[in-house]
Every structure is written in C-alpha cells, then in structure tokens.
Structure 1
C-alpha cells in the first residue's frame, strides 16, 4: 500500500512540477518578447524601462499561464468529481436496458453480478454507448460504491466468456484504485494541454484581427491587438507543445503499468487467463478494433479497455500493444487474431476440431410426396435404408452411369459384380435426381450403423474412389460425404482468417473447381465470373481443369472453413452460384454443393439435378 501511495505521489509531483516549469518558461519567454518589442518600438534607449517591461511581461505571461493551467485543471477535476454517470453521459452513454440493448448483450447484467461477487464489490451500474461500434469499455467513479462500467455497442460481437474477461478487467481497475488515480492525473494532463489549445486560439484571433476590415480610427488599435495576440500565441505554442508531450508521456508511462496489472488481476480472480486474452484477440482481428468516434472518448482514452483511437502501442500510447498484453496472458499464442465469439456453440479450438472432416451425418431424408422418390416403390427405398445392404446398394448407385459400370468387375475382386448387376436391373430407368435422392437416403442410413458394417462399407467406397482417380468429382464428393456421415459431430474450427483477401488464391481455386466440375463444357468462364462477383474481390480468371484435382478442393475448403460465419455463408453462396449459373444442375454439381455446405458449416441446400429456379 505504501509503495502504491508513494508511486502515485511521485507521479502527481512530477505532473505538478511540469506545470510549474511550463509557467516559468512561458513567463520568461513572454518577458523576453516584451523587452524586444519595447526596445525596437517604444523605449529604444531607455534600458530601465525595457527591463521594467520585461519584468511586467514575465509576470503577465506567468500569471496568464497559471490561470489557464490551473483553471483547466480545476475545471476537469470538477467535471470528473461529478461521478461515473456524468462521464458516461458525456460520452453518449445511457443506463443499460436489456429491452433496448442488442440481444447478444442480454446476459450482461448477470455476468456483471457474477464477476462483482468474485471481486467482493457491489455490482457497478452498467451504461452502454449505443453510437459507438468500436469494441471498448471503461470504468469510472469516485469510489467502488459509486462505480460505473460503460460498454460500447460493438461489445455485442463478443462471446460470454470474452464479456466476462472485459468486465473483470474493469473491476480490477476499480479494486486497484485506478479510477481515482486516472481522474486526478487526467486533470493535471489536461491542464498542461490547455496551453497548446489556448496558443492556437490566440493565433487564430490575431489572424482574424489582421484580416477583419475596419475604419481608419480603429485600424492601429486593431493592428496592435493583432500583433499582441499573435506574439502571445507564438510564445505559448512551443511551451504548449512541450507541455502536451510531457503530459501525454506521463499519462502513457503510468497507465501502461496499470493496464497490465488489471489484466493479471482479472485473470487471477477469474482463474482463467483466456477470458481477457480472447477478448483482446477478437479486438485485434476486428476491423473497427476499439476505435471510438467521439473526440471526448479519445481525450479520455486512457480509462478505456483498449486505446480509443484505434491504434496500439507507440511512444505516447496509453496502453501496451495488444500483442504484448495477449502474450503476457497466453504465452502459447500463435499470433493469429480471433474473428468470432469464443462462446459461440458452433466453434472450438483447432486442437479439438477437425477442419478437414465433413460436417456430421446428414439430416433425415425428407420423403416429400412430390419429391424424386415418389415413383419408387417403398420396398426399393427400404432396401437402401438397410445398412447391411449398403455394401452393394452404394456401389450400384455410384456406378450407375454406363461409362462407370465396367468398374464393378474390378471392385472387391469381382465379388460384388453379380449383385450390383441385379440391382441395376431393378433400378432401370432411374433418373439423376432419383439417384441423388437414394444416395441421400444411404448417407443418412450410415449415420448410425454398427461400426463393423460402417468400416466394411467405407472400404468399398474408398476402393471405388481410388479406382476412378482424383478428378472424378462425383465419386470423390460422395466418398467425402459418406465418410462424414459415419463420423461423430465435429464443430467448426475457430475463425482465424478475417478477410477474403487473405485466402484470395485459395478462392480462385475453389471457384475454378466449382466451375469445371460439371459434365457440360463451354460454360466454365461464365460460371466462374458469376460466382466471383459475389465475393467482391479483385478480378481473376478460371483455372484450367487439368491443374485441378480433389486434394485441391480439400485444401481450399479447409482454409475457407477458418473464416467467420458470414464469410463462410458468402463463399457457399458463391459456390452455389457457380454450380447453378446456367439454370440447371447435374448429379456431380448436386454432390459438390453438398460437400461445400458440409465443409463450411452451412445448411444443406438440398439441390437436386434438373432445372434450378
């Protein structure tokens, strides 16, 4: 405690010393200019009068500077003494109301109560700034019992754990006595900065007097006052600049230590260093960051969770760099920002997620009375719902096209050729949309088969896919989907790519694959440009089919899966636009659309071969 009081006393002493030094230097400079002016224009040979006027100039300059500095200091002390509510209201804040606040902040009062109980203090009153889209927060007040925590509208993008970390950081400031310290130090610094503002005003007034038209009677008086204002402004300006720099440096030095300490205290009280770290990672990855629009917010930026000007670090930065704060809390951080709320139930760390795995098992197939299966007998559909028969039914569907039927002779050493041919006879006349619908039925059937059966079925599918090669998009797509159907549900990886520009080349490959995967020729360029226009990226061209294969699609979808949910939806929409560009869909394109939706965590569009509206 004594060490903390001594540190605060030293800083305030330094601030007051800077104010006194500024007053002294301004007085000396004013006296010097007074002596020069009267030497050349009034008392050219009277040294006594010149010395007297220099002394008068010193007193006037010092008195005026002291009046400005201490007047400004007292004014800010008065404003800050009004309490946290007044500060929040001056920033455009209003009392937090669950009904008017965004739905994602509905639990903020409960989180506030929980964290306050952990710190052992009364729950601070919550204010929110509905006009501020930057992700930021602050604590203000005369004492812990009258403390206020303000949050910006941008905080709605944080997850619950991240919100808990931000509130814990601000309550650490309350418990450490940083609110009172910040209020007093801000008043001293604003007093130093007021000299620069006053000098700028004096220069503006002087220029105004020079340029203002007037009669001959007042011309000399106006010119004289213009000269005085200009001289005073020019004298005060260097001192104001120095005072502002010293004040900003003083504020930066003391505040950086307190921000780091608040991070550590919050992590200790929560027993979880990731809460604050994940909030900082999210702000690092957000385009708006912690930037706030009101000039008043930037003037009080040192009380914010992160710098209110949107920058980070720097000589005069009031906060340490975000990277330094994150690494202090999370030494194993890989340097990649977070682009989505951590508490989003659809996401998890890459350590626990499989970005390359397809989405979990397909939803139950909907037997629409008007759907593709309406003309197929229930006995045939029941056959495809039998997991034990899938070792035959799946190859029969995958090899149904005439060009692929010869492969049945080589599959499993020819053991399945006879039953597959018998099934083909039953399915004679099967349309493309019916074939895809039956494959969807098999895909759902495989979601919960006995493990031994699933392994046997997948081995047959793998053998078949290896036989056709990596450019057989149709079979490779169904292989991926069937493998995904037998795997347990897997969450999407945490987003680590914030902009589509960061995966530009991968998106060129992805859209090229979507454009060339169709069985029809001549429309690849058209499909590519239709899809590319939905991404809003710089112009690109479709890649030739010869350089593309299934592993390329796997890699591009793996990287696309690391983007935030809105971007994943945009990518999926672009892929579907490429597949349906000519208003129709074949079996290969239907399978590709299912793979894209599964890998990007999007709902299956249920597209079927045929005309697409």
Structure 2
C-alpha cells in the first residue's frame, strides 16, 4: 500500500494560520478605507446640496471627521462581537440554535455521535470538545468553533445524524477536527468579529429604516408634512448603500480566507481516517438531499465560514463562496486517494499490537524514537491512533463508561488515577478523603478503583481527556472542592511523583481558566534570550529524566542546545536542582513565549530525550504535559508501537 500523502505539519499549519490573520487585517483595513471614502462622499454631497456651495472634492476637515466616525463605529462593532465570542465555541453554537448533547444520552444517534467525537479527540491528543446538535436544521452540515482546543465545540445538524452512516459521520468529524488542530477556529472567530465591524454601517442604516417604518401613523404623517423625516430617510438609505461596501468586502474576505483551508481539512481528514469514501460519500449525499447543506438559522450568514460545506443559498458569483464547489472537493478526494477507495481500512499489524490484553496493565517500557518523526506527529494524528481510540472506548468497563460522562463519576475517576500502588500510601490517601469528601463521592471511588487499577497509565490519561466535558459541568464550588481532593491525594505521602504532576498539570491547566481561577496565558516573550534560563532548566530536567550517566546527560543537553542555536556553551544543571518545582516554574514562563519559540524549545526537548533513540512511558507522559502548556496536541503513543521503523 503506498503511503498517504503528507500535508503541512502542525507548526507549519499554525504559521499559515497566523499569516492568514495578517492577510485578514490587511483586507479589513482596505474595507474600512473604502467605507470611509463612501461616507465622506455621501456627507460631502449632502453638505453641497444644502449649502448650495462648491469648494472642491477635497475637504480635509470633513474627511477626518468622517474617518473618525467610521473608525469608531467599526472598531466598536468589532470589539463588541469579539468580546461576545470570547466565551469560546459554545457561544457560536448557541447563537446558531445548538442544543448540547447529554453525556449520558440514550438516543442511539446521539450516542454514535458522542463515540465518534471522543474517538477523534483521544486520537488527536486534544480534550474532548463539547458537542451540540442543531435540531432545527434538516440539511447536512457541521462546524467546529472555539478560541483553542480547550474550549472547542463540535456541532452537527439533525440532517447529519439522520442521513449519514458512521463512516460518513466520522469523515465529517475528522474534517472538523483538522480545523481544531490547524488553528482555523481562532481565525474564524476573529474573522466573525471583524466582519461584524465592517457590516455595522449597513446594520445601523437598516435599523433606522425599520424604526421609521414601525413608527406610529400619526408621527409618520407629521414627518411627511414637516419634512423632518426626509433627512433621516436619506441618511438611512445612504448608510445602507455605503454599508454594502462592507457587505461586499465581508463576503470577499470570508471567501479569501476560508476556501483553501477546506481543501487542507479534507486532506487531513482522509489521512486521519484512511477512508476517503466516508468523506466523499457524505459530500455526495449533500448533493442528493433536497435540504442540501443550507442552514436556516438567521445567523447563518455571519457564521457561514465556520461550516463543513456552504451553509447559504448558492452564490451566483463563485468569487463570494466561502467553500469550494462540492463536486471539486469530491473529485480531489477521489483522485488524490484513489488507491484507498474500496481497500481494507485496517492498518497492517495494528490489530495484533492492540489486542484486548494490551488495554490492561503497562505496555512495553519504551519504544524506539526518532525526534523528527515525533515532531511530525504533533497535531497530525495517524490512522493507527483512530483505531486505538475506538478500541480503548469499546474495552472500557461499562461503569467507567457511565462514570466518565457525569460530574460525580468523572471526579471520582480522576481521584482513582492518583491512588498509589502501595497499600500503605493508598490507606493514607483514602483517610484524607474521608475527612473531607461526601459519602456518595467515596462510594463512587470504592466502586471504580478496582476497574481503573487494571488500566495502564496511557489509558488512564485517555480517561482524563474523556472526563473533561463532565468536569466542566461542575459548579465553581464543586470544582474548588474537587481540586482540594486532588491536592490531598498528591500530598498524602509528602512527595510528588511525576505521574501525579502530569495529572494535576493537565487537569488544572485546562479547568482553572474555565472556572476563572486563573487568567488565560498571554504571549509575553518573543525572543529566546528572554527565556534563556528557563530553557536551560527545562532541557536539564529532560536530560536527567531520559538518561542516568552524567556524561550522557551532558551530551544530550548539548545536542538540544545546538537545536536551539545557542551561541555560548552551557553546562547542564545539577540533578538535585532539577526537581518538579523547577519544572513548574520553567513551564509557566515558557508557556508565555511566542509560538516559534515554543516550537524550537519543544524540538530541542525531543532531541534531549530522544538522543538515545528511545522514549520511555514516563518521558512520554512528561512530554504530553509540556506539550499541553505549549498548545501542541500530542497523539497517544500506541501500545507496542515502533516509531521510526
């Protein structure tokens, strides 16, 4: 079987999304300039009409006043929309009529959707997003929205659930996950905010016209007799006409930004699922369905660039379409991946490596690692990961499957992951919980612990990802109490194990911001020199984590420095200084570095750990915690996987 064609890696996609943002800002400024010109021309004409005096086309004072007014209104409209969307993808889903899927739903269509989304999330290395259904939409469509993977949502229409098979639904969901991984979601939210700003002039004119039309009959008669309504009517009409400059540019910007990203998402979805027929057949069904892909919600226009396929009536000018033609997308899929159509979808050797036994206990102590291949997998899940995720979910005991989808059970599951293997320590941990936790919570832990104890640590981390949506449904008080329970469990033996740090870091890093116990990270450092010491601390920790002999540690550290391009020679930090508090301080500061710096540090860290061409389970766990703080989704290392062969 020939290998699948590669697309850009995660870091290239993020860079491409940032370049698109620059292009978006340029088009936004151009649109504002044309709107200012239109408003200036309208005001100049009105001034000449009433004053009966001509002083030339260029009136600087009048132009500056028009420009100031337009810029103020446009920026106000932009920032208002961006602030409204700052709550994340759920705001977009609710605006479009989305209804959250109950985690413990008994509806078979909802359960199938939930399973597919969970599989894609676990295989991608991102938290399981909240799921919405657009119940009033008979067409086939879907979207992903959010500022980053931690607050992402995935929404599908009722038509998606009723019309698509599981393979077709998986193709659509994989397409949406590629938008999550490629940085398209944040770009789409910014685009929505900016377009609202440049459309605000037309919206004001429309509101003024409606206000005049809805006034009382007596007031309208007075306006006509006194002529007082005519200037308002003219002003409203002029604002609408000028505002449609914004409408034109809004459509142009959405089409310029969105269309090529859809081809990339299709390619990534096929590589992810290894099933081009699933995605192609979903697109064909849209063409055959009477309802097609149209979204009936009145907010569909402003969110049209979010969707899987065109959500509006067919544009009579192809230039303004936010999506490529369906026929062209189908043709590309069938031509580029024709060797996979009708082929066996299993991955050679993957099922043998993932038998039922591999989901109990620990996998192999290490797997061979080539740092370059590991970097290529960041944000780029492979077909094997999708198979792994499905098998993992299918092999979970029923009580775990139920517990992970409701807040009490999800909290108890996370606590179970932190219980020690040593009975004496475990007794201390449970005694600490008994003094503070609710009896029902303790009963849930007693029931779940024997089931979670048989799972290997990689699968325990998968449970953490699955539990996040349910944990987010806790009240703020419940989360604070749950957080205290975690701290009691970790502190019971007066030491912090690496796995305990990973669990706490992944959990609090994702939930503290959600429950407003921490502020979202902002980019503060744009030069490696600004975080030089933290880089050396992190690389020293990784070098000592991956190696034992001082000479080997120093060699690994120096190799990592070469990747960073360090101009001076530095020595690795002493082992006794490389503790978890040092790691936490370093990661906290490095997480506020710009994305190119994070990429360089992550690559150097991989070289440091992988200088012996292998990765242990503990190292993989640590890498995942670091990657989370660097906003880099890392797919799971498969049981028995050999990376780089």
TM-score, normalised by the number of residues in structure 1: 0.48
- Decide which structure has the larger Cα Rg and report it: 1
TM-score, normalised by the number of residues in structure 2: 0.46
